[in-house]
Amino acid sequence: MNCQKSIVISNKEICSGVFEMVIEDKCIAEKAAAGQFLHLKPVESNEVLLRRPISIHRLDREKALITLLYQLKGKGTVGLSKIAVNEYIDIIGPIGKGFPIESEKRCAIVGGGIGIAPLMQLTADLKAFGKPISCDAYLGFRSDVYKLEEFSMLCDKTHVATEDGSFGEKGYITDIFAGNLHKYDVIYTCGPKIMMSKIKELCSTKKLKCYVSLEEKMGCGVGACLVCVCKTKAGDGDSWHHSKVCCDGPVFDAEEVLLND
Amino acid sequence: MNCQKSIVISNKEICSGVFEMVIEDKCIAEKAAAGQFLHLKPVESNEVLLRRPISIHRLDREKALITLLYQLKGKGTVGLSKIAVNEYIDIIGPIGKGFPIESEKRCAIVGGGIGIAPLMQLTADLKAFGKPISCDAYLGFRSDVYKLEEFSMLCDKTHVATEDGSFGEKGYITDIFAGNLHKYDVIYTCGPKIMMSKIKELCSTKKLKCYVSLEEKMGCGVGACLVCVCKTKAGDGDSWHHSKVCCDGPVFDAEEVLLND
Amino acid sequence: MINTSTNLAGIKMKSPVITASGTFGFGREYGSFYDLSLLGGITVKGLTLKPREGNKAPRIAEASASILNSVGLQNPGIEVFLDEELPFLRQYDTAVIANIAGNTIDEYCEMAERLGSSVDGIELNISCPNVKEGGVAFGTKSQSVYEITKSVKRHSCVPLIVKLSPNVTDITEIAAAAQEAGADALSLINTLLGMAIDVHTQRPMLANNVGGLSGPAVKPVALRMVWQVCGAVKIPVIGMGGISTWEDAVEFILAGASSIAVGTASFIDPFAPVRITEGIVQYMEKYGYSCIDDFRGKLKVF
Amino acid sequence: MINTSTNLAGIKMKSPVITASGTFGFGREYGSFYDLSLLGGITVKGLTLKPREGNKAPRIAEASASILNSVGLQNPGIEVFLDEELPFLRQYDTAVIANIAGNTIDEYCEMAERLGSSVDGIELNISCPNVKEGGVAFGTKSQSVYEITKSVKRHSCVPLIVKLSPNVTDITEIAAAAQEAGADALSLINTLLGMAIDVHTQRPMLANNVGGLSGPAVKPVALRMVWQVCGAVKIPVIGMGGISTWEDAVEFILAGASSIAVGTASFIDPFAPVRITEGIVQYMEKYGYSCIDDFRGKLKVF
Ligand SMILES: Cc1cc2nc3c(=O)[nH]c(=O)nc-3n(C[C@H](O)[C@H](O)[C@H](O)COP(=O)(O)OP(=O)(O)OC[C@H]3O[C@@H](n4cnc5c(N)ncnc54)[C@H](O)[C@@H]3O)c2cc1C
Ligand SMILES: Cc1cc2nc3c(=O)[nH]c(=O)nc-3n(C[C@H](O)[C@H](O)[C@H](O)COP(=O)(O)OP(=O)(O)OC[C@H]3O[C@@H](n4cnc5c(N)ncnc54)[C@H](O)[C@@H]3O)c2cc1C
Ligand SMILES: Cc1cc2nc3c(=O)[nH]c(=O)nc-3n(C[C@H](O)[C@H](O)[C@H](O)COP(=O)(O)O)c2cc1C
Ligand SMILES: Cc1cc2nc3c(=O)[nH]c(=O)nc-3n(C[C@H](O)[C@H](O)[C@H](O)COP(=O)(O)O)c2cc1C
Ligand code: FES
Ligand code: FES
């Protein structure tokens, strides 16, 4: 595991409340994979004590650049947004199990809001893999949309829905996705829990492989403190145990996790 | 009392670990007097919770400028030193009782280290008052000296001592001052407690008027919390009571305060 | 229309926001920043029968998101309060609560009697960690809390608020004892006992060696205690301990507090109590609450 | 030559810096950052007889300079520890302390027996605020602390450390009871019980409603308790609670602690225990101390 200070190359607002940060770090860029995350210290002071987990949005392994996409939520993300270009940011990472790529498959990614963040590098990897892998994107937003062009460049077809209908279809992206279910073998999803539950349900009716990227509040971020748990199936029947999102995930096989309690 | 955000015009290191900050604020500049202080919030975060008291070093009432001189000591002063030009700083002030000017007197100021800070505006005021007031400066430092030129421009004669002899006389400024005691009517002093005690003692042997500017850790800075106390004489004999340095001082008649316990 | 008024065991206040004892003097200083009538109430500096000079300086030290203080009840005594400070406070339309501390139960009773009905409420300080006699000694055992409350209650003609110490194993037990003895309300928390050391001088940072911890750092403990106490007693509770934003205040009200007090926060931002009051109003507007009871105690526990 | 070694009631450690239970897992994770042999000792995650899944998530919330946790003793059980985790830890030259928690005194005793002399010390966790049975219930009354300590002591063949809860009125009384019952050392503090509320959802931030407060915010309380306890007992004390810099560590040692433990600080800086160790060495160099006892307990009180 690494823990170091890396330099911030750019950090700008790309749409109201959503920021894109580019970090240069050879070590991280070399090791990182789609679906992993970085555990960042957003402000030096003890006032915001904990690190914040942010997914790897995009990797440029050659140039050693890592791009993050994050939404302002509270003190931590606001702190992140205030880091100036050429300043250093304290990072543990890359952490966690990323998205597995299954070859010769028709894939779809389903992202909700800022949940699209980890899916970008995944689509890039799928595209780089080339035929016979294909990938369509299903992106849902409340109102403001972002990153559509990049996704459409990397995907075969990009579907967009907004809850208020201000862009693309009006409604939930899950509904659009539901109609096209039969077209895919593997689904990757990240977004609000309720959306992921819905996708998981849809996939299980058709026995499609589905990977979910979970979020849970974190302490150490490295597997030592046990605060970031989710329920995963243990053996047969209803038995489960608590797995750590930070190191057993954040990406899980949807069939393995219990999302609804 | 005022509490406002004022703009920082400059903030630079003038000698190792000593900074000068210039603030523009009409309201403060108009009201402030030599010997008063500002209660500053050095960093926004709760991590450095309390404000920090810093004396008014220099006032330009016309241009509405207030200059502060401060030495790095801990988190608060380091925080102050990081405030960039054109940023705002949160200020309560001006606060406290400043130095009284007694007309037609021969004055001396005796400053030790960063204790010279509040004495600068005093000497400027004394000079502005003009004849028959005269003022000599006695400045003691450990090793590095600063602000000598400005003092020498405002004072009739400026004496300097360093403990390591790297500039001026080698030794304590109190010793040099002791030899010239007979030349003065009023003494103003600020610096380490031990130095002020010594000056007080010298003055009392000759029945010279002596004003000391005290330091004590502060909470509210406005007289409400009672944490910043010093002992002051109460009536005759040994009886005393606790006065508040923030609002009953920071400048006290040396005869009125008990410095040694 | 939004109505923030609170009736705290008979003390009528136009807002639930009070200033905490010892952090607001007798109101004069902060009265030069804003109109004190904006406050629901003012709890004055802890009073004793005779004037007290308190502990030696240094009396304050900073810690992470907190301060330690060891003032030790410096105050001009109850007579000076009544003669010089109370008339000043009475110019304002705000409730005045007298915080009292004594060395013996008799002293507490005598003070309550001297105060008569000149103030709107009496806060029994049996939780000051900074004095040897009295103070916290009374506040950590149910039996002595019961006794002192019962005695003072007989001598007070205004609502009696008992201020609890957080330095106890089971705060609900102490709270129940105070209620049982006739307390009209409770306030909590007083400061946690803490310490800081200068590693270079190798001396405590406070001349009193230890002191009372307050400020944002203590909020989680204070909130937990207020929630526990509100679930254990029927009398109203003034919640305090680290409140510095309106969100903090709302947390305490959701946990069941009828009023909240702002202490240390005023040192950092003199306008804190006013800003917190404004924030509560905005919260009520946002969620359509017309009075404090609309959301008081409405915490949805898991 | 500077010698940081410590003999904690027979447990030999090359430095006074230990990692606190529950914040360091079984060492594997932080072992990928640095060589665990750099540590004086490792206290492992609280163990129970049978595997436990712990409480529901969310199990952590951030507060001012602190965190609240409600893990609730999730652990693989003592057998898995002995079979899979301990062998890993034994690769390193560092003391291993097993933190144990049970529902009954018998469970504690059984665990002590199972551990035998496979570990260097046993830390009796009678102060976990996050479990219903056992845990803190044992730790807040002198009588029960005495009983459990006495019983477990009979079953342990390695030094027995009793970990105290700070959620008590008089920590010295509890400490004395543990000493009286035969504890070889004490460790304090465990977490303070706290709470945080989301004002928008109006729910507690933790699914367990309340949780244990740790981190810089609790340091003043921890330090005061360690100082009080060191003055009240003769057995050595492991000081902890909010230690995140070497200065913090030195404060605890000046107050009398023989060793110190680093908890929450590792989450923020994985290297914290190592940096703290280095800082202590530099402090000793600066002031010419050759061993820890040269400055341990040397606080000059006012
Ligand atoms: C594996 C992982 C990857 C993530 N990737 C991204 C990303 O790429 N872009 C992005 O915008 N957000 C991402 N998040 C969510 C992000 O971590 C939170 O939005 C952020 O921590 C909020 O911090 P805050 O201080 O701004 O908000 P606050 O709400 O003030 O945070 C308070 C506390 O809660 C925690 N917290 C709050 N929301 C979440 C959340 N959704 N998940 C985990 N912890 C939370 C914070 O870390 C902090 O400890 C990810 C979360 C996880 C677990
Ligand atoms: C009336 C007054 C005027 C002052 N004027 C100046 C000035 O013009 N220039 C200057 O450099 N310093 C001045 N000081 C001292 C200055 O306030 C402290 O050096 C500063 O507060 C240290 O803060 P810190 O966080 O850097 O240090 P730390 O030691 O980390 O501070 C810890 C705490 O102790 C308090 N503290 C530490 N030293 C002092 C001290 N000497 N006096 C009061 N509180 C202290 C801090 O305010 C803080 O609350 C003055 C002090 C007073 C009381
Ligand atoms: C400097 C200072 C002095 C205090 N004096 C008193 C007092 O005289 N009587 C009292 O009951 N509480 C006193 N307190 C405790 C406060 O009223 C309050 O209970 C405590 O500070 C917690 O609130 P806070 O975190 O908002 O400050 C004092 C607190 C401080 C910081
Ligand atoms: C996430 C977490 C889990 C903990 N688990 C345990 C535990 O299993 N057993 C125990 O005795 N203490 C446990 N503790 C308490 C710590 O060991 C320590 O006493 C406390 O956190 C104070 O130290 P700190 O402020 O340095 O973290 C835990 C603390 C945290 C933060
Ligand atoms: S965050 Fe500590 S185990 Fe996952
Ligand atoms: S600092 Fe509060 S009274 Fe002086």
Distances (CA, A) of D217 to C271, D20, D223, D265: 24, 16, 11, 12
Q: CA-nearest residue of chain A to D21?
A: A225
User: For position B1, what pLDDT does the model report?
Assistant: 72
Q: What stretches of chain B show up as alpha helix (H) in DSSP?
A: 26-31, 75-81, 119-129, 148-154, 173-180, 193-205
Q: Which two tokens stand for residue A134?
A: 């294909």
Contacts (Cβ under 8 Å, ≥6 apart) of B110: B138, B140, B173, B174, B177, B187, B188, B189, B191, B195, B199
For the CA of A117, the nearest atom of ligand 1: 8
Chains that touch C (3 or more CB pairs under 8 A): A, B, D
pLDDT in tens, chain A (261 residues): 778 899 999 999 999 999 999 999 999 999 999 999 999 999 888 889 999 999 999 999 999 999 999 999 999 999 999 999 999 999 999 999 999 998 778 999 999 999 999 999 999 999 888 877 889 999 999 999 999 999 999 999 999 999 999 998 899 999 999 999 999 999 999 999 999 999 999 999 989 999 999 999 999 999 999 999 999 998 877 899 999 999 999 999 999 999 986
- Measured in Å, residue C24 CA sits from the centre of ligand 3 at 9
- Give Cβ neighbours of residue D294 (< 8 Å, ≥ 6 apart): D284
Is residue B71 in contact with ligand 2, taking CB distance under 6 Å?
A: yes
Q: Measured between CB atoms, does B84 come within 8 Å of chain A? A: no
Q: Which ipTM did the prediction report?
A: 0.96
Residue D8 backbone phi and psi in degrees, to 5: -95, 95
What are the two backbone dihedrals, phi and then psi, of residue B227, each rounded to the nearest 5 degrees?
-90, -20
**Dihedral sign, CA of D214, D220, D225, D226?**
positive
The answer to whether B19 and B69 are in contact (CB under 8 A) is yes
Return all residues near A172 (Cβ < 8 A) that are at least 6 apart: A140, A161, A163, A195, A198
State the closest ligand 2 atom to the C-alpha of B96, by its place in the atom list counted from 1. Answer: 1
**The pTM is what?**
0.97
Q: How far is CA B128 from the centre of its chain?
A: 19
- How far is D105 from D151, CA to CA, in rounded Å? 7
Q: Domain extents for chain D?
A: 6-294
Task: Identify the pLDDT of residue B235.
Answer: 81
Find the residue in B nearest to A47 (Cα).
Answer: B47
What tokens does B129 get?
């008052």
Report the SS3 class of residue D116: coil
Q: Give the pLDDT confidence of D3-41 residue by residue, as tens digits.
A: 999 999 999 999 999 999 999 999 999 999 999 999 999
One-letter identity of residue A11? N
Rounded CA-CA distance B187/B251 in Å is 12
Return the percent helix, strand and coil in chain D, to nearest 5. Answer: 35, 20, 45
Report which DSSP code applies to D236: -
Is pLDDT at B261 greater than 80 in this prediction?
no
Chain D nearest C-alpha distance from B74 (Å): 13
Residues from chain B that touch D64, judged by Cβ atoms under 8 A, are: 46
Nearest CA owner, ligand 2 atom 38: B217
Strands of the sheet with C66-69, listed across from one edge: C60-63, C66-69, C210-214, C192-195
Q: Is the CB of B246 under 6 A from ligand 6?
A: yes
Q: Which residues lie closer than 8 Å to D198 by C-beta, 6 or more apart? A: D204, D205
Residue with CA nearest ligand 5 atom 3: A223
Print burial letters for D120-152: b (CB count within 10 Å at least 16), e (below 16).
Answer: bbbbbbbbbbbbeebbbbbbbebebbbebbbbb
CA distance A222 to A157: 36
Shortest-distance ligand to the CA of residue A248: 5
Q: Tell me the C-alpha distance between D231 and D237, whole Å.
A: 11
What pLDDT does residue B216 have?
96
- Protein residue with its CA nearest to atom 5 in ligand 4: D22
CB D188 within 8 A of CB D237: yes
Task: Give the residue among A180, A178, A186 at the shortest CA–CA distance from A135.
Answer: A186
pLDDT along chain C (302 residues), means of 10: 93 97 97 97 96 96 97 95 97 97 93 97 85 70 94 97 95 97 97 97 97 97 98 98 98 98 98 98 97 97 96
In Å, what is the CA distance from A163 to each residue of A141, A152, A160, B127, D105? Answer: 6, 20, 10, 73, 57
**Tally of CB atoms within 10 A around A13:** 11
Is the Cα dihedral D104, D106, D107, D111 positive or negative? positive
Question: What's the CA gap between A161 and D140, in Å, rounded?
Answer: 57
> What is the reported pLDDT for B27?
93
Using an 8 Å Cβ cutoff, are D206 and D159 in contact? Answer: no
Cβ pair B222:C30 closer than 8 A: yes
Please name the CATH architecture into which domain D6-294 falls: Alpha-Beta Barrel (3.20)
- Cα separation, B45 vs B52, in Å, equals 14
Residue-level pLDDT at B180: 92
Residue C87: its pLDDT value, please?
97
Residue D19, ligand 4, Cβ within 6 A? no
Q: What is the pLDDT of residues B215-236, one digit of tens each?
A: 999 999 999 999 999 999 988 7
DSSP letters, B95-115, are: ESB-PPP-SS-EEEEEEEGGG
D76 touches chain A (CB under 8 A): no
Ligand 3 atom 19, closest CA: C190
Query: What are the residue ranges of helices labelled H in D68-170?
Result: 78-80, 86-89, 105-115, 136-139, 142-155
C225's tokens: 């205690």
Q: What is the pLDDT of residue C134?
A: 57
A131 Cβ neighbours under 8 A, 6+ residues apart = none
Q: Which residues, 6+ apart, have CB-to-CB distance to B246 below 8 Å?
A: B39, B53, B95, B96, B216, B218, B220, B221, B222, B223, B228
Helices D246-254 and D272-287, axial angle in degrees (round to 10): 60
Return the CA Rg of chain C: 18
Interface check for D302 against chain B (CB to CB < 8 A): the answer is: no
Rg of chain B on CA atoms, in Å: 18
Measured from the Cβ of residue B183, the count of other Cβ atoms closer than 10 Å reads 12
C189-222 b/e with 16+ CB inside 10 Å = b?
A: bbbbbbbbbebeeebbbbebbbbbbbbbbbbbbb
pLDDT tens digits, one per residue of C171-218: 999 999 999 999 999 999 999 999 999 999 999 999 999 999 999 999
E strand or H helix at C143, and its extent? helix C142-155
Among candidate residues C287, C289, C280, the one with its CA nearest the CA of residue C38: C280
How far apart are the CA of D19 and the centre of ligand 4, in A?
10
Contact A29, A57 (CB under 8 A): no
- Interface contact A226-D54, CB threshold 8 A: yes
- Confidence tier at D131 by pLDDT (50, 70, 90): low
Please state whether C121 falls in left (phi above 0), alpha (psi between -120 and 50) or beta: beta
B46 touches chain D (CB under 8 A): yes
How far away, in angstroms, is B217 Cα from ligand 2 center? 7
Q: What is the pLDDT of residues B29-72, one digit of tens each?
A: 999 999 999 999 998 888 899 999 999 999 999 999 999 999 99
Give the integer Cα–Cα distance in Å for C226 and C224: 6
pLDDT tens-digit series, residues B91-116: 999 999 999 998 778 999 999 999 99
Our mutation pick for probing the ligand 2 site, out of B77, B195, B245, counting the most ligand atoms within 8 A of Cβ, is B77
Taking the CA of residue C79 and the nearest CA in chain D, the distance in Å comes to 32
Q: Decide: helix, strand or coil at residue A203.
A: helix
The token pair that represents A49 in the structure block = 């004590």
Give the count of Cβ contacts less than 8 A between chain A and D: 99
Residue-level pLDDT at C221: 98
Q: Which residues of C touch D193 (CB under 8 A)?
A: 221, 224
The H or E element spanning position D173 is helix D171-180
Query: What torsion do the CA atoms of A126, A130, A133, A135 make, to the nearest 10 degrees?
Result: 50
In this prediction, residue C26 carries a pLDDT of 97
pLDDT number for residue D204: 98
Give the residue carrying structure tokens 């029960």. Answer: D144
